[in-house]
Amino acid sequence: METYYLTVFEKNGEKILDENFQAQTENEAKEIAEQKLAEKEFSAKTHRCTTSSGKLIVFGR
């Protein structure tokens, strides 16, 4: 399992979500990230999900 980091920002740059989670694959991590964004109603906000090594796997604004 790898650790992934999900971060959501306001337009002014303030972090409103900064959490990590575990997933087996990048595809699974993308699904988990998108699910978390939808649950918290942050899908329309600027967001990113990265691997523990810093690779960007999800980005949205």
Q: What is the pTM of this model?
A: 0.93
Parse the chain into domains and list their residue ranges: 2-60
Query: What is the pLDDT at residue 47?
Result: 97
Query: What is the pLDDT at residue 61?
Result: 87
Q: What is the pLDDT along the chain (61 residues), one digit of tens a residue?
A: 999 999 999 999 999 999 999 999 999 999 999 999 999 999 999 999 999 999 999 999 8
Query: What is the pLDDT at residue 31?
Result: 97
Report the DSSP beta bridge partners of residue 18.
Answer: 7
H or E element at residue 6:
strand 2-9
